[in-house]
Amino acid sequence: MLITYIKGLVGVHAKDVLSLRGSELAHLPLLENAWLLIKDGLIEDFGEMENIPAEIAQIQPQISAEGRFVFPSWCDSHTHIVFAAPREEEFAMKIAGKTYEEIATAGGGILNSANKMQSATEDELFEAASIRLNDMIRQGTGAVEIKSGYGLTVESELKMLRVIKRLKEHFPIPVKATLLAAHAYPTIYKENHQGYIDLIINELLPRVAAEDLADYIDAFCEKGFFSNEETAQILEAAAKYGLKPKIHANQLSSTGAAQVGIAHHAVSVDHLEETDHEVLEALGKSTTIGTLLPSCSFYINIPFANAKGLIQNNAIVALASDYNPGSTPSGNMNFVVSLACIKLKMLPEQAINSATLNGAAAMEISDKLGSITKGKTANIFITRPMSSLAYLPYSFGQSQVETVILNGEIYHG
Ligand SMILES: N=CN[C@@H](CCC(=O)O)C(=O)O
Ligand SMILES: [Zn+2]
């Protein structure tokens, strides 16, 4: 497939650039009036229209992208899209002024989703998650991470992970699976934290490993959820099975969660709405990625992460949706990128790099996705005609994604 007359070919990063930190984030290489050749599902070559070789100009099929931009697909490295039911009942509580913590205490929150999960079948969960994932792909997402964490029993966590495995097999995009059994303490373990941690370590982890159901380990390291010590115990046990951490850190308080992740060589620490200078500095010196989830801040009215502070401290910053039924009922990465510009004060270039190459890095697939680079998988989208690159985040709430191409083929899903 040959795409011609591309107004802007976005994210033309060199092959050896696998993530971007600090000032590098503002550099988003763009080729104007370009062509892009895709072969066998991979990016074969690209260049400027005025220099297109005659033998390439004849290749069929061809798509003219006149007036349009071509982006590498969004790489959404933090989602919870396998859930049994939405939680609109909490929406009303939220509108009435209840906080995320108050809703959880009143029987809402993660335990609400866990109750609904117990009776859901694998088929029902797969059908519902497929609709969500299909919507996300149509909005430009071309790689995704999905967490368990609404099971909170051995069998229900395994059920969720098996659904994620089915999504992986069914959809034409990379899907990474994360075990998040340490999402909340089930009611019966409320006074027996060690009992639940032992269950995760001694019963769940060996079965997850035996069925090869997870790529990463996660924990909600937060006041009232998993303490730093409890989180460390789980991360250390998971490391024995080769599961690297990607953890929920500093969402509601800054009490050392990010540092726990960094100390355990986490691929990413995610949320970071509450950070002090020590966190920013620690991430600036670390290879752990700081993944920001501005749609969550927007929806539950908590502070927006200090993206500028992270960038000034030379950290690697990624953006993800956090799509889940409680704190972020949306998986639209276009809106995430808009919010990153509008609320995190990121430049469009910084936000786009964070949602593409650094998102891929937060799933350890940036050697295959996240930029327009020869040899990478041809997961891309073509926009509607746009006046400039900044029009995409500027026109918040409206998708500029016109054509989605995955593995070199137009996605009709
Ligand atoms: N904070 C923890 N987990 C999710 C929310 C889960 C829920 O409320 O169902 C999050 O990332 O925001
Ligand atoms: Zn989350």
Label the pairing between strands 289-292 and 268-271: parallel
- Whether residue 390 lies inside any domain: the answer is yes
Whether residue 55 has pLDDT greater than 90? yes
pLDDT at residue number 80:
98
- 150-164 average pLDDT score: 98
Residue 110 Cβ contacting ligand 1 at under 6 Å:
yes
Same domain assignment for residues 169 and 195: yes
Q: Full-prediction pTM beyond 0.95?
A: yes
Whether residue 62 has pLDDT greater than 90? yes
- 292-299 average pLDDT score: 98
Domain limits at 63?
2-72+371-410
Q: Give residue-wise pLDDT tens across range 31-43.
A: 999 999 999 999 9
Residue 282 Cβ contacting ligand 1 at under 6 Å:
no
Q: Give residue-wise pLDDT tens across range 217-232.
A: 999 999 999 999 999 9
pLDDT at residue number 105:
86
Same domain assignment for residues 197 and 271: yes
Same domain assignment for residues 116 and 198: yes
pLDDT at residue number 306:
98
Whether residue 385 has pLDDT greater than 90? yes
CA–CA distance, 262 with 260 (Å, rounded to integer) = 6
Nearest to 360 by CA among 11, 6, 34: 11
- Whether residue 134 lies inside any domain: the answer is yes
**Atom 8 in ligand 1: residue holding the nearest Cα:** 326
The answer, yes or no, to whether the previous bond of 61 is cis (omega within 30 of 0) is yes
- Distance from Cα 118 to the centre of ligand 2, integer Å: 20
Same domain assignment for residues 108 and 240: yes
Q: What is the DSSP track for 253-301?
A: --SSHHHHHHHTT-SEEEE--S--HHHHHHHHTSSSEEEE-HHHHHHHT
Mutate to test the pocket of ligand 1, among 91, 324, 328 (most ligand atoms within 8 A of CB): 324
Q: Which of 343, 361, 379 is the last residue of a domain?
A: 361
Position 107 confidence tier, pLDDT thresholds 50, 70, 90: confident
- Whether residue 23 lies inside any domain: the answer is yes
Task: Tally Cβ neighbours within 10 Å of residue 57.
Answer: 12
Q: Give residue-wise pLDDT tens across range 11-25.
A: 999 999 999 999 999
Torsion of CA 97, 101, 102, 108, to 10 degrees: 100
- Whether residue 196 lies inside any domain: the answer is yes
pLDDT at residue number 238:
98
Same domain assignment for residues 218 and 315: yes
Same domain assignment for residues 191 and 228: yes
Same domain assignment for residues 139 and 282: yes
The strand pairing partners of 124, in sequence order, are none
Position 239 confidence tier, pLDDT thresholds 50, 70, 90: very high
Residue 322 Cβ contacting ligand 1 at under 6 Å:
yes
Mean pLDDT of the chain: 97
Residue 147 Cβ contacting ligand 1 at under 6 Å:
no
- Distance from Cα 18 to the centre of ligand 2, integer Å: 24
Task: Tally Cβ neighbours within 10 Å of residue 2.
Answer: 20
- Whether residue 366 lies inside any domain: the answer is no
